Amino acid sequence: MGRVLAMSIGLLVITLLLRASEKLPTESQLSRPETGLDIVVSARGPLLPPRVLLDRSGLYEAIVAGERILVEEEDAPSGIRAASFGSDLEITDYSNFPLSSSVQATEAFVDWIAARAIPSICILGSSGRIQPLSEEEETRLARVCEQLGAQARPFGSTPASWAYIGVRLASGWVPLAEAYSEKTGVVLLFTVAPQLERYRDHRGEFLVEGPHGPQVVELERELPYAEMQASAVGLSLDGRAGGIQRAGLIFRPQGAQEEAVSMVWKAVRLGTGAYFQTYLGFPDRGPRGSRSATCELRIDDRLIASREVDDTSGWVRWPVDLRSFSNSVVRLELRARTRLASAEGRPAVLWGEPRLHWGGKR
């Protein structure tokens, strides 16, 4: 029979699985398992720390079955990732449903669930926003959860993380494992054995996850949920200052001198002992000794900290204590004003590895 494990002990298993493949498989690439199908579901709502930091794989929201990644973050927008397997434990379908941005996606998801064969395995995992556009759609999705035998109702709140593994039998849906959280990401591990009818009387475990140990939110991963000037702020995967490369954000102020460029995240949930940290710097390419910037962090429209930087020091570490906002939901803003000694234009400033931390020692 299958078993579900809290994923604090599953990191090694996940890492090995994720190393095995970096691309979506074809049906011919998925071989029938001899003893069962190992399933990993990693799910995460917007601006929530992942349940397990998959630093080596770079994946936070994914479905993994056997030794293949079926649906990964880069291949689909926010929504419900979905995969199904037949009674022979071979893949039959996988898809993504962007419920928060399309009414048609709700209809398609409801139809997808209804179309699952008997017997079959259904795997669902949330990524980013999954709250639908209307209360009517939310009601329809709640009915789907009821049909699946799920205990969570994840579509009525943001942020939320939800993962589900179940089987459809002639007698109805049987949940094998489920996890839900409004404070962190969730991960499920379950091994499905052949002969799915054996799960007719299975009582699936329902995990309600809370924060465990140090939590980290990598803000460069949260660009889809930020308000910003699209041409002025963006992702920098290879920013280099002082000869050292760091992934992060790049602010490219435009227009008049001293005009600020900002990026805002609303409804950011901070935990106990919260603090922010980043590395500020200017790209190595460009005139040396003539660029400077004022960088600011604001909470709920109030200036909390600012830092002056120039292009003579490479990366400059900038920690900001946010403990006074612990266990609260805030509006977080990063802002930059850049200056150039000459009249050649506005320089860009890098925010390397911008992170929100809580639940651990600084």
Q: Three-state SS for 7?
A: helix
In a domain, 246, yes or no: yes
Do residues 158 and 55 share a domain?
A: yes
In a domain, 228, yes or no: yes
In a domain, 2, yes or no: no
In a domain, 248, yes or no: yes
Do residues 176 and 236 share a domain?
A: no
Give the list of residues 6+ apart from residue 136 with CB closer than 8 angstroms, or none: none
In a domain, 241, yes or no: yes
Select from 212, 246, 280 the last residue of a domain: 212
In a domain, 190, yes or no: yes
Select from 212, 246, 268 the last residue of a domain: 212
Do residues 136 and 185 share a domain?
A: yes
In a domain, 1, yes or no: no
Give the list of residues 6+ apart from residue 183 with CB closer than 8 angstroms, or none: 48, 209, 210, 211, 269, 271
- Whether the CB-CB separation of 14 and 169 falls below 8 Å is answered with no
Do residues 127 and 15 share a domain?
A: yes
- Whether the CB-CB separation of 73 and 60 falls below 8 Å is answered with yes
pLDDT per position in the chain (362 positions), as tens? 343 433 332 332 333 233 333 333 333 333 344 578 999 999 999 999 887 544 434 456 777 876 667 665 555 568 999 999 999 999 999 999 999 888 999 999 999 999 999 999 999 999 999 999 999 999 999 999 999 999 999 998 888 999 999 999 999 999 999 999 998 899 988 999 988 999 999 988 998 877 677 889 999 989 888 887 767 889 999 899 999 999 999 998 776 566 788 999 998 999 999 999 999 999 988 777 788 999 999 999 999 999 999 998 899 999 999 999 999 999 999 999 988 766 566 789 999 999 999 987 66
Do residues 283 and 173 share a domain?
A: no
Do residues 27 and 132 share a domain?
A: yes
Do residues 35 and 176 share a domain?
A: yes
Residue 238 CA to residue 272 CA, distance in Å, equals 32
Select from 212, 235, 267 the last residue of a domain: 212
pLDDT at 209: 78
- Which one, of 334, 126, 330, lies nearest residue 219 by Cα? 334
pTM of the model: 0.81
In a domain, 179, yes or no: yes
Split into its structural domains, the chain has a count of: 2
Do residues 115 and 172 share a domain?
A: yes
pLDDT at 58: 45
Do residues 206 and 222 share a domain?
A: no
User: CB-based burial of residue 184 (10 Å sphere; 0-12 exposed, 13-18 middle, 19+ buried)?
Assistant: buried
Do residues 284 and 186 share a domain?
A: no
Residue 112 CA to residue 130 CA, distance in Å, equals 16
Do residues 144 and 88 share a domain?
A: yes
Tell me the residue range of the domain where 74 lies.
Answer: 7-212
Residue 265 sits in a domain whose CATH number is 2.60.120.1060
Do residues 234 and 208 share a domain?
A: no
